Amino acid sequence: MKKMFAGAAVGMAALIAAIVPARAQSDFPTQPITLVVPFAAGGSTDLVGRLVAQRMSQELGQQVLVDNRAGAGGNLGATAVAQAQPDGYTILMGTIATHALSASLYSNPPFDPVEDFEPIAWLVTVPNVLAVNPQFPAQTVEELVALLKENPDEYVYASSGNGSPLHLSGELFKALAEVDMVHVPYQGSGPALVDVIGGQVPIIFDNLPSSTEPIKSGQLRALAVTTTERAATFPDVPTMQEAGIEGYETNTWNALFAPAGTPPEVVAKLTEAALAAVADPGVAARLEEVGAIIVGAGPEELGEHVRAEVERWAPVVERAGARMD
């Protein structure tokens, strides 16, 4: 009888242990959620992150708090999330930098973009833009190329950081246009824009959303977008290929990820809230105003996208000669 009672007690304990976590997960979230944006405030990823976080807070009934952890081309913040407790309370605003380029830029990447994360939602894709300070003499890409060829290594360009998509955009431009410029990395687009607008650095490769207002206000002059089609928000700005840089195409994207091992039901709740956020008319209108193209895809499509992007960008990184080791 004692053995039977002991066995029943063990069985009941196991049943309770199984039920309690499940209930806790079904009640998710019961506390604020941290959304790590792996770039400085003021950039494109930060802009998208804050718009989505505010709307997700309403959907989830808990605050989604943005935590900017800039550094190492997005890898600092991404690594922190990959190592976080897989409970859904720490998530990442991932980008092409963290989930496509890092795998090729480093011989020993600090994380695996596929194995170390659970996909939540693919939010938007974003064109990049080549822009200059309005006092800079080049009015077009053709004039910029001519100026750079006449004065090799005399000019510098800014980006949101070493190993970022914008760094790669600049290196690919140098390779295809056969010109030289010195790269000046910043910890995010925000600080880079401040120096370009202020005239300390003449040239920038940036995400279109963070440069939209400075371009509209005349603080920057857009020379070309980096996608194969013109941006709807700036129909008069040519593409790089139209401007004579054959074979040029880069862009970026923003997506949400959780640490690997996050329970599926938690991921499902985060997915539902994220997709509701980008479907909200007010959020969608604001995103479209700054040139972001809404995707609104779930975990399966995002996972497939990440795997495809890792493969797609490996030869581009090699061709550009960009390495972070």
CATH number, domain of 178, equals 3.40.190.10
Q: How many domains would you assign to the chain?
A: 2
CA-derived radius of gyration, the chain: 22
What's the pLDDT score for residue 158?
97
Paired tokens of 1? 């009888």
Q: Does 41 lie in the same domain as 102?
A: yes
Question: Are 139 and 116 in a shared domain?
Answer: no
* Model pLDDT, residue 317: 79
Residues in Cβ contact with 73 at an 8 Å cutoff, skipping those fewer than 6 apart: 97, 101, 102, 105, 161, 162, 163, 164, 167, 324
CA nearest to 59, candidates 29, 34, 81: 29
Q: Are residues 154 and 114 in the same domain?
A: no
The answer to whether the beta carbons of residues 94 and 78 sit under 8 Å apart is: yes
Cβ(75)–Cβ(307) under 8 Å?
no
pLDDT recorded at residue 2: 42
Flag whether pLDDT at 3 surpasses 70.
no
Residue 68 has a pLDDT of: 96
Q: Are 60 and 5 in contact (CB under 8 A)?
A: no
- Nearest-angstrom CA–CA distance, 159 and 137: 20
- Residue 184's domain comprises 127-225
CB 76 within 8 A of CB 37: no
Under the banding of pLDDT at 50, 70 and 90, the label for residue 4 is: very low
Contacts 24+ apart (CB under 8 A), 274-279: 274/52, 274/56, 274/120, 274/121, 274/123, 275/121, 276/55, 276/56, 276/59, 277/51, 277/52, 277/55, 277/56, 277/59, 277/123, 278/52, 278/121, 278/123, 278/124
Q: Which of 211, 314, 305 is nearest to 256 (CA)?
A: 305
Q: Mean pLDDT over residues 283-309, rounded? A: 93
Range 207-221 average pLDDT: 94
> Is the predicted pLDDT of residue 282 greater than 90, yes or no?
yes
Provide the CATH number for the domain around residue 86: 3.40.190.150
Residues 134, 198, single domain; the answer is: yes
Poorest-pLDDT segment among 102-106, 199-203, 321-325: 321-325
CB 228 within 8 A of CB 180: no
Q: What percent of the chain has pLDDT over 70?
A: 90
325 lies in some domain: no
Q: For residues 211 and 291, what is the distance between their CA atoms, to the nearest angstrom? A: 10
Q: Check residue 26 and give its pLDDT.
A: 67
Helix (H, G, I), strand (E, B) or coil at 82: helix
Q: Please give the full DSSP string across 176-215, using - where no structure is assigned.
A: HHT---EEEE-SSHHHHHHHHHTTSS-EEEEEHHHHHHHH
Report the pLDDT value the prediction gives residue 7, as an integer from 0 to 100.
47
242, part of any domain: no
Residue 247 within a domain: no
Measured at the CA of 173, the angle between CA 172 and CA 177, to 5 degrees, comes to 120
Residues 114 and 177 in one domain: no
- The dihedral built from the CA positions of residue 262, 68, 43 and 316, taken in this order, carries a sign that is negative
Residue 22 domain-assigned (yes or no): no
Q: Are residues 120 and 162 in the same domain?
A: no
Domain co-membership, 192 together with 174? yes
Q: Is residue 241 part of a domain?
A: no
pLDDT > 70? residue 91? yes
pLDDT in tens, 55-83: 999 999 999 999 999 888 789 999 999 99
135 and 110, same structural domain?
no
Q: Mean per-residue pLDDT for 140-161?
A: 95
Between strands 33-37 and 90-95, the pairing is parallel
- 83 with 119, same domain: the answer is yes
Amino acid identity at 178: E
pTM above 0.95, yes or no: no
Residue 88 sits in the same domain as residue 142: no
| Mean pLDDT taken over the chain | 89
Confidence of residue 163 (pLDDT cuts 50, 70, 90): confident
Task: Kindly state the average pLDDT of the residues 104-126.
Answer: 93
pLDDT (0 to 100) of residue 44 = 84
227 or 260, which is more confident?
260
109 and 59 within one domain: yes
Residue 17 lies in a domain: no
- What angle in degrees, to the nearest 10, is found between the helix axes of 189-197 and 208-216? 30
Residue 197 lies in a domain: yes
The answer to whether residues 279 and 197 belong to one domain is no
pLDDT tens column, 19-38: 434 444 569 999 999 999 99
Residue owning tokens 């939540």: 120
Q: What is the rounded end-to-end Cα distance, in angstroms, of the chain?
A: 66
Residue 240 located in a structural domain = no
Q: Among the ranges 22-36, 60-74, 96-110, 264-278, which has the highest mean pLDDT value?
A: 264-278
- When pLDDT is averaged across residues 142-161 and rounded to a whole number, the result is 94
| Low-confidence winner among 19-28, 206-215, 280-289, 294-303 (lowest mean pLDDT) | 19-28
